[in-house]
Structure 1
Amino acid sequence: MPLKEAAYRPYMLTLLAVILASNGVDRLALSLLLQEIKVDLALSDTQLGLMSGIAFAIFYSLMGIPIARWADKGNRVTIITVTTALWSVAVGLCALAGNFVQLLLIRVGVAVGEAGCIPPAHSLIADHFSRTERPRALSRYMLGGPLSAVFGYLLAGWLNELYGWRLTFLIVGIPGLLLAIVAWFTLREPRRQGMLNAREQASKEWPDAQESSPSLREVFVTLWTIPTFRHLMFSFAAVSFFSYGIGKWKPAFFIRSFGMETGELGAWFTLIYGVGGLLGIYLGGALASRFAARNERLQLKMMALTYAAFAVVSTAMYLVSNVYVAFALMAIATIGGNSVAGPVFATIQTLVPPRMRAMSIALLYLFANLVGLGLGPLGVGMLSDAIAPWAGTESLRYVLLVLSPGYLWGAWHLWRASTTVVRDMEVTYEREMTSSDSAQVEASSNAPRRIPGETVSSSI
């Protein structure tokens, strides 16, 4: 018997979070296994950066656009199921790679599959949770990120020591296939049921929440003309460049600079990214929903300050010579950095029209991944190779030290977004009212005008 809405919503969040964790396990495991792959296939840091960075990011980012278009008007459960199965099979195939080209092509297949995870999930969650609930709901969904650290670092670290990197990839790919089956049989697509969601929230939150799909040009123009969205996109891209570039090479840094083994390192990364990440994301969503509900301006200002502190602590990590002090600083930075995720994505889902929710996330990841995931690991790898002749095994330390203050760039854009978010919500809402047909305008004439800090409907 299908679950009632009260029980279904937490179940849906949990399952989507676990699928997100499966999505992230592969990339975290890859970062931990880069050194082993380098030795086995005789690759350079530049090749590793290319394979884990730009080659993956191009397909991951570009495929996100057509998938998100499909998600904004099609069956999101089908999208999540098919793409989960696809990336799981491709991850397992990494075990068969015999050279750089083969591994590169397989990673492209992984990228295509993983592109279908986040945009449909965000859209689905936004349909089931109101504006007030979204920071907490999306934070709980984003818990899948640090949850992936538990499996990606701990299991990959020990599996690599016991069985090698090839069998590790094969084992990592299996859970995704099982999750795809569970999603297919248990998740619901509200559109297929002839309803937007249990509370009919979108029809109250926006006057033209309907099945008509805007053109791709209309989506691009609409989103680009929202200053807050632009600042959030630039912030996400800047932070992604430094976080992907630095994060992908952190395991190699600890291996080279402190002589750690993958098993021990995986346990530490599990504790820091797993527990610290879970704590940070949960606190970010809970605090935003409790103390700044329906106050996106305050949420963005606090996130900007958090990222500024994150930049300082992250930089300090590469100045210390004691590995345990470095881990402590890394834990503090992880908690703070992860607290931003839920409120940022909740703001976006409230800011844009429902018809463009999946596309807004896809565009966000398009620029962030092309710049961050694409250029970050590659840039670090190239810089490391460039200074290796005089820096030796400490080349990564110097590169990561120089890049860490870059998080301040993302903080600046978040602060700028806080100055425009209220006005942009007003403008976007009024634009939607104007563009709706006369019958719809009349039907929504009793809906109050959105003003700073208030909802459109008391049920939202």
Structure 2
Amino acid sequence: MPTHRYRRYLLILLTVNLGFAFLDRVALGMLLQDIKVDLDLSDTQLGVLSGIAFALFYAVMGIPLARWADTGNRVTLLTLTTGLWSLAVGLCGVASSFVQLIFIRVGVAVGEAGAFPVGISMIADYFNRAERPRAMAIYTLGGPLALVGGYLLAGVLNELVGWRTTFMLMGAPGLLIAALAWLTLKEPRASESPAARGASLNADQRSGADVLPTVPQEQIPSLRMVLKVLASNRTFRWLLLYISIAFFFVYGNLQWLPSYFMRSWSFSSGEVGLWFALIFGAVGLFATWLGGELATRFAPCNERLQLLTVSFVMIACGLLSTLVFASSHIPVVLVALTGVSLAINVSSGPIYAIIQSLVPERMRAVSMALVMLFANLVGMGLGPLATGALSDLYGEWAGAESLRYALLTMSPGYIVAAWFAWRASRTVAEDLTAVDDKPVLSAESQIPKASAV
């Protein structure tokens, strides 16, 4: 398969895989209300189920799986982890208690922990610094695609066949993806002699593929070295904080939005699914593509401008999110929610591209896993739990509207994330110059001197 065609196929398959991996999380938010009634759970228990129970194992397992991705065969890893989460998602439909569902969700988390680091690492191998915002934006389209499928399909299927059968149906496509990955993808590090790699690299560079050469096994940096390099990078530290804070408020709000519309606006699950498929799915797809396209066209290799734009966008997100829960007019709510979807998704491609450009080739998966470790523990783990706990707390005086006030309390937090993006914009040019987009090996001398934050 010609290199340009293979790159396109690789990107599409990884995007579809990410979409189905995220589909389960989106659908869980749609099904929370029915799970609550069926298993007689509190909002705090639902927060544990959709938050920390999943996020803890997803985040912690991301580090060893990412280390495997940086040093081993990523195709094998992708196949095994995709198969695991697919089977576990199907098993969610047979859980008969809160404890059983918790343990099954742990299996889903371990499997899904392999998807993102592998995808990010492989894409960064095949697309250069100028191309990465667009490529990463296409890859992160998996998120909005999951929102379309998760909200629309889960909402309709829940009404037709119930939440249990919905989970069983959602697990099946992942098995096909695992088989396709095993049969059609190739690990560029495997079974090539140095001479063959050199000839292949020259041919790829002539065709514009810009595939990076494989680092010899003996020069792979240790995990300690990787962590030391990442800790010394000021911009990486700021972006780690930015994503962690952003995830806290994104997941703290997003996971509860279906329940909010069902409780406060009396929407059915089908109605919520249709509106959210349009707002977070269709609009999210457009915004994700737009962010990568604008960064690639108008700010290629200008990461400072990209981060300043992200900062302004997140300020707007905080203001619009507050309006969503403060307004008593449903047209205003839906329009403001559309603006939130635009703001959240437009920045994803440039942010992930910058992180991959900040670190050497053999550190990319671990760098992303480290980001996801903190982002998911703080964001996915504590965000939904914080909202659920606030809702139970406010229930004493707010009654049926307690969830509205909990979500309203969370909304201005996006502005805090904007501040961290702005701080990253001040150091990104210098840190990128130090890396110079080339693989950095394990020599201590190549670690940039740590600077005070």
Residue 114 of structure 2 is matched in structure 1 by 116
**1:322 Cα deviation (Å)?**
2.1
**1:213 Cα deviation (Å)?**
2.1
Amino acid at match of 1:214: P
Inter-CA distance 105–434: structure 2 relative to 1 (3 Å threshold): closer
Q: Does 1:249 align with 2:256?
A: yes
**1:193 Cα deviation (Å)?**
4.9
> In 2, are the aligned partners of 1:119 and 1:361 still within 8 Å (CA)?
yes
- Partners of 2:438 and 2:128 lie apart in 1 by 21
- Partners of 2:442 and 2:298 lie apart in 1 by 34
Residue 178 of structure 1 is matched in structure 2 by 176
Pairwise CA RMSD: 2.0
**1:396 Cα deviation (Å)?**
0.9
Q: Deviations over 1:207-227 (max 9, x none)?
A: x95443211111111101100
Among candidates 295, 302, 316, match of residue 288 of structure 1? 295
- Partners of 1:65 and 1:29 lie apart in 2 by 26
Query: Which ranges in structure 1 are unaligned for 5 or more consecutive residues?
Result: 442-460
> In 2, are the aligned partners of 1:125 and 1:138 still within 8 Å (CA)?
yes
Inter-CA distance 230–437: structure 2 relative to 1 (3 Å threshold): closer
Amino acid at match of 2:264: S
**1:380 Cα deviation (Å)?**
0.7
Q: Does 1:157 align with 2:155?
A: yes
Q: Which is further off, 5-14 or 412-421?
A: 5-14
> In 2, are the aligned partners of 1:127 and 1:202 still within 8 Å (CA)?
yes
Q: Deviations over 1:152-176 (max 9, x none)?
A: 1111001000111000000011111
Amino acid at match of 2:163: W
**1:430 Cα deviation (Å)?**
10
Amino acid at match of 1:137: A
> In 1, are the aligned partners of 2:30 and 2:151 still within 8 Å (CA)?
yes
Amino acid at match of 1:246: N
Q: Does 1:401 align with 2:399?
A: no
> In 2, are the aligned partners of 1:202 and 1:209 still within 8 Å (CA)?
no
Residue 323 of structure 2 is matched in structure 1 by 316
TM-score (norm 2): 0.92
Identity value in percent: 53
- Partners of 1:67 and 1:229 lie apart in 2 by 20
Inter-CA distance 6–253: structure 2 relative to 1 (3 Å threshold): same
Inter-CA distance 110–432: structure 2 relative to 1 (3 Å threshold): closer
Residue 325 of structure 1 is matched in structure 2 by 332
Counterpart secondary structure, 1:419: helix
- Partners of 1:426 and 1:22 lie apart in 2 by 36
- Partners of 1:12 and 1:426 lie apart in 2 by 29
- Partners of 2:355 and 2:343 lie apart in 1 by 20
Which stretches of structure 1, 4 residues or longer, exceed 3 Å deviation after superposition?
Answer: 195-204, 208-211, 428-438
**1:49 Cα deviation (Å)?**
0.5
Residue 435 of structure 2 is matched in structure 1 by 428
- Partners of 2:158 and 2:129 lie apart in 1 by 44
Q: Does 1:191 align with 2:197?
A: no
Residue 363 of structure 1 is matched in structure 2 by 370
TM-score (norm 1): 0.91
**1:332 Cα deviation (Å)?**
1.4
Q: Does 1:390 align with 2:388?
A: no
1:117-266 matches, cutoff 5 A: 117-194=115-192, 195=197, 198-199=204-205, 201=210, 209-211=215-217, 212-266=219-273
Residue 457 of structure 1 is matched in structure 2 by none
Amino acid at match of 2:75: V
Among candidates 343, 354, 371, match of residue 347 of structure 1? 354
**1:427 Cα deviation (Å)?**
2.8
